[in-house]
A = this chain, B = another copy of it.
């Protein structure tokens, strides 16, 4: 009998061959992505420690109930703080450890929602009392904003905080079922304290709108819920997402808190009950801006995970046509597949770099805010809103592109991408619902447009901020959109200009038709404005590449960035064609095409064809370990089928050969059926 070709043995061969063909220095690119080798090494050390600790084993996680996952999550959290003491980790190290865990832990809400709001807005007195307890997790917090019937529109929150001058206290109350605080992460079972968003009611019943109040929820010795509060978990989330987090509900029955518990750094109440006006109404957005700026980085690394898994699998998976080696072709070699997957790499690279810039911007904003300087707030608000919408929408789509690219096995829990998707999905809704943010971006764009043309002595480019810089194109009648040729797509300039023109013309159109807007223009304008902003930033990133990377790596990453621009242009084609921005000159040479978008599509296909042989190197550069990815299809050595087989053996249904359902049900079905058949 001839020797049988064993595809599972081929996997490792294909993977190491792909790795050896990579032309870039993976370490150089990895250091670039991690902003230097020190950051990478620190992270690698922490991953190494955690992945060897049996408590952090992930193999049984897929089979656990939500309750077990919650309990496990707290054990992991506790262990990390224990390790902090043992290994003398810095707060930054702890954050790295929490982030590489790939768990939606309740402590995340303490760190990203509760503590920043407290630090930004607590009065000096409250700060000195609680700041170090919060920093060291001597108390655990949550941020109570959303209510059962009230989300984005904080002005309509029903929870009240009524000032009682007689005792200089506030009384927190939930007057209706629908005022129940709902969805609050870490509230259900974990948090001992919280910051509550409630309508401030002054003596005489004057409603001052939403303000923030610091409140204790559970007893610090018994962890029991304090009197006057009804608190619990809101139940499982869709798709099994966020299973580890106890999103909770809370009702307050006339709970009294001392006056100092108002977060009153920028707005307060005198003992007599007079309101002290805040210098800037939007100061309370500081916390949310921080969360949104972090979201860009998170999105980049999330796409990186999806891309790594999908590209590794597509490198070892052989399917369909027979190639020159007599085997079926590796699926990544099919243009229909690599044009879907290589752009994921480009979006990961762009978002990671963009997130870094944004975090720097937020740090500057926070320094300003702490001294009452709000001048950067409006621009930062527009920028983070637009980017939040863009990156959340994009990464949700990209994770699903990655999952679907893997065919049937992509639907296995062991593929790992479904879990990332389920946990990330609410990002389209939380921290500002995307459709609502789109409206704010639209308003800001119209404001910038009107501001520009209503200036005296006349419109000037100097008044334009980075988020509205595209409007300069409307200032000079002699400026014309770029003419297109197949060569237009080899450099970034044309793509960036086209995206800026699209934003400018859409905002102009919007201003002309404001009396009768169509129903989807808001999304179109919002997306166009944000993509023009990002395109300009990508242009800057391309310029800066040579300063960090060597020539070969610069050349490859440059193509990765250009691919980002070209695929963005492709996704904007309806707008570009509608406004006559896409006036391709059809070439006479064969193949004859009547499609003006063909040159762009061919350029994308050709960039992806150039880049896919580098895909293993470009994704290895993300530096994600097998433990982090937790994916049978994304294993570093390519042995996907062995791994799938081994993981399936762990399935609880396989612990007995005959299922309990046999005696309980299946036997009856079969017996009944045999009796029926005998009668026929």
Contact among B158, B523, B645, B653 for A177, CB-based, below 8 A: B645
Closest to A505 in B: B594
**Interface flag for A457 (CB, 8 Å):** no
Provide the bound-state CA to CA distance between A608 and B518, in Å: 11
A410-418, A474-482, A536-544: which lies at the interface? A410-418
Contact among B150, B178, B597 for A578, CB-based, below 8 A: B597
Q: Mark A401-424, 1 if CB is under 8 A from B, else 0.
A: 001100110111111011101100
CB of A641 within 8 A of CB of B67, answer no
**Interface flag for A65 (CB, 8 Å):** yes
Provide the bound-state CA to CA distance between A619 and B73, in Å: 42
CB of B577 within 8 A of CB of A578, answer yes
Closest to A420 in B: B238
Q: Mark A647-669, 1 if CB is under 8 A from B, else 0.
A: 11111111001111110111111
Q: Mark A594-636, 1 if CB is under 8 A from B, else 0.
A: 1111100110110010000000000000000000000000000
Contact among B135, B318, B412, B680 for A238, CB-based, below 8 A: B412
CB of A595 within 8 A of CB of B509, answer yes
Provide the bound-state CA to CA distance between A413 and B71, in Å: 20
Residues of B within 8 A of A666 (CB): 74, 78, 140, 190, 223
Contact among B189, B339, B403, B650 for A235, CB-based, below 8 A: B650
Residues of B within 8 A of A415 (CB): 238
Residues of B within 8 A of A246 (CB): 653, 659
Q: How many copies of this chain sit in the oligomeric assembly?
A: 2
Interface centre among A138, A246, A652, A658 (most CB of B within 10 A): A138
Provide the bound-state CA to CA distance between A255 and B523, in Å: 60
**Interface flag for A516 (CB, 8 Å):** yes
Contact among B70, B151, B590 for A319, CB-based, below 8 A: B151
CB of A339 within 8 A of CB of B411, answer no
Residues of B within 8 A of A385 (CB): none
**Interface flag for A426 (CB, 8 Å):** yes
Provide the bound-state CA to CA distance between A561 and B652, in Å: 48
Provide the bound-state CA to CA distance between A460 and B272, in Å: 92
**Interface flag for A275 (CB, 8 Å):** no
Q: Mark A15-30, 1 if CB is under 8 A from B, else 0.
A: 0000000000000000
Q: Mark A27-65, 1 if CB is under 8 A from B, else 0.
A: 000000000000000000000000000000000001101
Residues of B within 8 A of A652 (CB): 65-67
**Interface flag for A428 (CB, 8 Å):** yes
Tell whether A336 pairs with B512 under 8 Å between CB atoms, given A225-B657, A238-B418, A669-B77: no
List 20 A-B pairs, Cβ < 8 Å: A4-B176, A8-B177, A77-B669, A82-B668, A133-B673, A133-B674, A138-B675, A140-B669, A148-B644, A148-B645, A149-B641, A188-B653, A189-B659, A240-B422, A336-B439, A512-B593, A518-B598, A518-B602, A574-B577, A578-B597
